[in-house]
Each structure stands twice: as structure tokens, then as C-alpha cells.
Amino acid sequence: MLKGKTAIITGSGRGIGKAIALKLASYGANIVINDIPQSDYADDTCEEIKALGVDSIVIKGDVRNKDDVDALIKGTLDKFGKIDIFVNNAGITRDGLMIRMSEEDWDLVLDINLKGAFNCIKAVARPMMKQRSGVIVNIASIVGVMGNPGQANYVASKAGLIGLTKTTAKELSSRGIRCNAVAPGFIRSAMTDVLADDVKQKYLDAIPLAKFGETEQIADVVAFLASDMSSYVTGQVINVDGGLVM
């Protein structure tokens, strides 16, 4: 389905990003792993991907840093000659009630989750426009659709990412570039493992499918959006949340 395509996934050393990288590789795409410069996981993930029979490299860098993002795009083009798929997955949380939230925690989350995606889209748009083809998938969150107490910074970043997705789709569709978002619900990963048991139970009670999601279930939807199976889909947000929001 993706044989010979080149895919970059930000923050893909572990978690949902890693699952997306493995899934796209399993469909034949060559993979560029990006993660923070001090990542302990990126090299091992790269080896796992190569074992699937595709090519893979690691280009570390912070999505907040424009020079790092430019190096990610250049390094990919030097190695593979083109970029077919770009997944904005890197993201963090710094939770707390709004009245107690520090300006630093607000800025950090917006900088990584939203400005990081803007930096990446801006940088990858140029080669994709030249190719007159490309697919961008942004990993948002269901809380960006419904709001969530204790996550003002994170919710604002993900709601912003949804707006950025729709604008990107409108600005770039005439150049053959599609852009969609996936909004995961409660997915088992390092990000959610740290939540208190009562918070987890509250979510579980509200999920019609009555279980938490797995990273592979997000990766399946990303693979659909990255492939020609979704060639008439752009500017959409697909909730992958067990029915939490409908």
C-alpha cells in the first residue's frame, strides 16, 4: 500500500509515534524517525523498522527549533530524494488547573504541540508543493474537540492543531497535498500511564467500547489517511476514541 514511499514521523522513538512508524513500514514505506536530541529510544526503533525490510534513518531534533526542522527535511531529501508522508506526532502535556497554570507550562505545551507542527508543515510544504503531491497527518486529541478541565494548555494546542489542519488542507489542496488530523481518545502510552486511577476509571465509564485504545489502533487510521485509500479525504478530523465523542 505504501511501497517506496518516504514517511517522516516526529516524536517517533516511542509511544503512538513508534506504532505509526512500524505500521507505515509494515506497508512498505521507508521511515525517518525524529525525536528529541536526547532520546533513548530512537535508535532501537530504527533497528526494529529495518528488520521489517524497509530503509530507516534517525534524524534527531526538537520540533520547536526551526533549524532542527530544516535539517530534518534536508536530511530526508538527501537520503530518499522525496517526502510523501509527514506525521506531526510529537507532543507533551503539562497538566494543571488554569488558575494555577504557570506561563512557562502554557508556553512549553503550545510551543511543542502547535508551533512545532507549524514549523514542520511550513518546512515540508515546499518540497511537497514541488512534487505536487504529499500527505500530512496531524495527531490532535479528542480533548481538542471537547475541552478538558486541567488541560487548558494542551486543549488549546490541540484545538489549534485542528484549525491548522483545516487551513493547511485549504491552502495546499490545489498542489495535490492532503492534510487531515487524527484525534485519539484515551490511548495506553507513557503519556497516560501516569494518570491517577480515578481519572482513568472516569474515562473508562464514559467510553462506549468500554476499554482504552492501543497505539496500533491510532496507527491503523494514520495508515489509511497516509495512503491512496483516502485520496478524496482532506481537512478532516477522525476521532479514534472508542466512541467517547459522537
Which strand (E) or helix (H) includes residue 215? helix 215-226
Q: Return the C-alpha cell found at 128.
A: 511537497
Total number of residues shown for the chain: 246
Say whether residue 86 binds ligand NAP (CB under 6 A): no
Residue 169's CB is within 10 A of a number of other CB atoms, namely 19
What strand order describes the sheet that includes 177-184?
56-58, 30-33, 6-9, 85-88, 134-139, 177-184, 237-240
Beta-ladder partners of 184: 240
Say whether residue 196 binds ligand NAP (CB under 6 A): no
**Is 232 designated active site?**
no
Q: Give the total of residues touching ligand NAP (CB under 6 A).
A: 28
Single residue of 64, 66, 82, 122 touching ligand NAP by CB under 6 A: 64
Say whether residue 91 binds ligand NAP (CB under 6 A): yes
Say whether residue 35 binds ligand NAP (CB under 6 A): yes
Burial label for 37, CB within 10 Å (0-12, 13-18, 19+), is exposed
Q: For the CB of residue 89, give the shortest distance to ligand NAP in the complex, in Å.
A: 5
Say whether residue 14 binds ligand NAP (CB under 6 A): yes
Say whether residue 16 binds ligand NAP (CB under 6 A): yes
Say whether residue 160 binds ligand NAP (CB under 6 A): no
Residue 64's CB is within 10 A of a number of other CB atoms, namely 17
| Catalytic residue set | 154
State the residues that interact with ligand NAP by CB under 6 A: 10-11, 13-17, 35-36, 39, 62-64, 89-92, 112, 116, 139, 141, 184, 186-187, 189-192
